[in-house]
Amino acid sequence: MSGELFLGVDGGGTKTRFALIDAGLQLVTEAQFGTTYHPEVGLDGVRNVLERGVAKVLADAGAKAAQISWAFFGFPGFGEDPQATPALSAMPAPILRHDRYTVDNDMVCGWAGSLGAADGINIVAGTGSIGYGQRGKAAARAGGWSESFGDEGSAYWIAMQGLNAYSRMSDGRLPEGPLHSLVNETLHLRNDLDLCAYVYGSNAKTRGELAQLSQLVSKAASAGDAAALDIFHRAGLELAQIADALRHRLGFEPGEPVKVSYSGGAFGAGELLLQPFEAALKSASADFTVARPLHEPHYGAALYAAKLCRAARA
């Protein structure tokens, strides 16, 4: 393949997606590999995923790395560790064999995809949660403080809130709803306390694997489980609070429309999360308008690479 190309890499706590687009911004090829969350897989693990992903899309396109005019890499946790951040910033250079690239947090991929790299705010609720927005030359983030003491409204947070509700149901502190039997059946628990070993035993699940349990909370909520429904209500409120914080941080004036979009697997729950999210936004400010995502984050990362390339040439 001849002609210039733009590469987008959307890292995540569960998966990393690669998109290669041409000068006309058309998708040439894409690929998917594992997580690039460095606290979980280490820097060597991140490097391995990048090497495999870049090699795959180039091979599929019949192209060479030199044809990539610009690349954008979005990593989960980027900018949050003074030791890891410089290493992540330098990592793409030997893989691409050039320095025409930008590295930032994966939140930027969600914003660029959902809003087409235009002014506004995007809320990411994947394995973790974070918000990012741009208004003119201003950019800001909120949330994304890790699963240990943050990531409210994320798939991991929803899953952990669900397991907390399960434990309360088991004790009799909450009425037993559909969530209890769903957890037992899906995880093949012989008794309720076996859940402890599933979460932190010798074969404990990873952060990304535990986040998948949010789907059980979604199923329980769809079956009318009151505790599960409340979890999604609270998740929507938490995510809306991130958006409202960004509205203030970016300096939107009263009466100025604020476009908000969203991305990430937690929104796969559909109206269970979208309805309380949109209601909380409306309650926070009449200036918010919710926009359905235009593109997926990995394509957004490639689109942003093209935008950054144009800016570099200007």
Task: Grade residue 237 by pLDDT with cuts at 50, 70 and 90.
Answer: very high
Give me the mean pLDDT over the 73-92 stretch.
95
129, 153 in Cβ contact below 8 A?
yes
Task: Grade residue 31 by pLDDT with cuts at 50, 70 and 90.
Answer: very high
Average pLDDT taken over every residue of the chain: 96
From-to residues of CATH 3.30.420.40 in the chain: 5-114+295-313, 117-293
Structure tokens at 253: 């004036």
Distance CA 172, CA 83 (A): 46
Give me the mean pLDDT over the 188-204 stretch.
93
Task: Grade residue 118 by pLDDT with cuts at 50, 70 and 90.
Answer: very high
Residue type, 209: E
* pLDDT, position 202: 87
* pLDDT, position 17: 98
Return the percentage of the chain with pLDDT > 70, whole number: 99
Task: Grade residue 3 by pLDDT with cuts at 50, 70 and 90.
Answer: confident
Give me the mean pLDDT over the 227-242 stretch.
98
* pLDDT, position 145: 93
* pLDDT, position 158: 98
Distance CA 220, CA 202 (A): 28
Give me the mean pLDDT over the 188-214 stretch.
93
Distance CA 274, CA 278 (A): 6
Distance CA 271, CA 201 (A): 34
Distance CA 80, CA 146 (A): 9
CATH 3.30.420.40 fits 5-114+295-313, yes or no: yes
- Distances in Å between the Cα of 221 and the Cα atoms of 63, 180, 185, 224 are 47, 12, 16, 5
Please give the CATH number for the structural domain made up of 117-293. 3.30.420.40
Q: Is 25 left (phi over 0), alpha (psi -120 to 50) or beta?
A: left
Distance CA 176, CA 170 (A): 7
Q: What is the 3-state secondary structure (H, E, C) of the chain?
A: CCCCEEEEEECCCCCEEEEEEECCCCEEEEEEECCCCHHHHHHHHHHHHHHHHHHHHHHHHCCCHHHEEEEEEEECCCCCCCCHHHHHHHCHHHHHCCCCEEEEECHHHHHHHHHCCCCEEEEEECCCEEEEEEECCEEEEEECCCCCCCCCCCHHHHHHHHHHHHHHHHHCCCCCCHHHHHHHHHHCCCCCCHHHHHHHCCCCCCHHHHHCCHHHHHHHHHCCCHHHHHHHHHHHHHHHHHHHHHHHHCCCCCCCCEEEEEECHHHHHCHHHHHHHHHHHHHHCCCEEECCCCCCHHHHHHHHHHHHHHHHHC
**Burial per residue of 71-92, b for 16 or more beta-carbon CB atoms within 10 angstroms, e otherwise:** bbbbbbbbbeeeebbeebbebb
Task: Grade residue 2 by pLDDT with cuts at 50, 70 and 90.
Answer: low
